[in-house]
Structure 1
């Protein structure tokens, strides 16, 4: 199945470049390009792409507000959003993830990581640029007290949680714990339900907030 992607960036040369990179990847097609956040929201609602790739700093509506509009906690049918930016600023990353983004990348991440993030988002996963992941999780671990689950985590769920928080993929989690891929996905679903989170990034953040990782 070909993944349909919308790219939004107010700089034409950047927007065109991102679109060319993604169109060159197997199984990915850019179906729309938006010049600002408002344009992105309107086109995304009309076309329902598999993934929206949004810049942070855009006129009329910035990428974080566009993300919240398309994928926020109050959206009945949220879309998959990956935010990409030139600016390695902690508040941007935190804001994007809290707004519902499934990924956060810097524009110099390279074609391979860009395609990986798009595919992960379309598959219900998430990816944050490795250059900022650990620093951000540690910094944001002190911002909020984590909500404790009503039903305690099982020993296996704790193991899956720590593996995900360390950045392992589903396949790597399965290999490290000697369990099947479907079992990993089952545990992830249970973890997200118990902890009230929506994606792997929020799972990792919860692990740091609850002091399961330093």
Structure 2
């Protein structure tokens, strides 16, 4: 089950499937390992959670584990669950997860600048700005540029 689908998200689909067919085993196979994706999926009844970059052998092992009633989770997912249980808060990320250029782009976002304005300020193309933003969102495990900016401001990543 993927998490991002056009008609209904994977969490809701997992909930409906496991409620209607309790013996059905649902494995999440997605690109998202952030806490906001992992926890709802597991709570919805997913028995496995793997990222799309796993080896085929691991996917087969995950399916076999699920059939046998055992959970098998991607290491990044396990880390998210352990962090949640251990602290019940999201571990604070360091600005060092971003490249210098990504830091510059994020700083411009915190100033409220558009992609076009960021491109002009940093002397790069708008397409390059969009690529950097995609990388920033993935590394920070947030859904959009507003969340990224708020996180950076809250954690005092920049002198703004």
Give the TM-score of the pair, scaled to structure 1: 0.38
SS at match of 2:33: coil
> Displacement, 1:70?
1.0
**Counterpart Cα distance in 2 of 1:106 and 1:76:** 24
SS at match of 1:104: strand
**Counterpart Cα distance in 2 of 1:61 and 1:78:** 21
Aligned residue among 60, 64, 67 for 2:11 = 64
Give the alignment of 1:57-136 within 5 angstroms. Answer: 57-72=4-19, 75=20, 77-136=22-81
Give the root-mean-square deviation of aligned CA atoms: 2.0
**Counterpart Cα distance in 1 of 2:32 and 2:76:** 12
User: Would you tell me which structure has more strand in proportion to its own residues?
Assistant: 1
User: Would you tell me which structure has more helix in proportion to its own residues?
Assistant: 2
SS at match of 1:132: helix
**Counterpart Cα distance in 1 of 2:3 and 2:21:** 23
**Counterpart Cα distance in 2 of 1:132 and 1:96:** 11
**Counterpart Cα distance in 1 of 2:43 and 2:64:** 20
Q: Which runs of 5+ in 1 are unaligned?
A: 1-53, 144-214
For the structure 1 residues 137 and 102, does the alpha-carbon distance in structure 2 shift closer, same or farther, using more than 3 Å as the test? same
Give the TM-score of the pair, scaled to structure 2: 0.50
Cα deviation per residue 1:122-150 (whole Å; 9 max; x = unaligned)? 1111111023313422224444xxxxxxx
Question: Which residue of 2 is the match for residue 24 of structure 1?
Answer: none
- Say whether the 8 Å CA contact 1:70–1:78 is kept in structure 2: no
SS at match of 2:29: strand
The count of residues paired between Structure 1 and Structure 2 equals 89
For the structure 1 residues 107 and 116, does the alpha-carbon distance in structure 2 shift closer, same or farther, using more than 3 Å as the test? same
> Displacement, 1:88?
2.1
Cα deviation per residue 1:22-62 (whole Å; 9 max; x = unaligned)? xxxxxxxxxxxxxxxxxxxxxxxxxxxxxxxx011001111
Q: Which runs of 5+ in 2 are unaligned?
A: 89-160
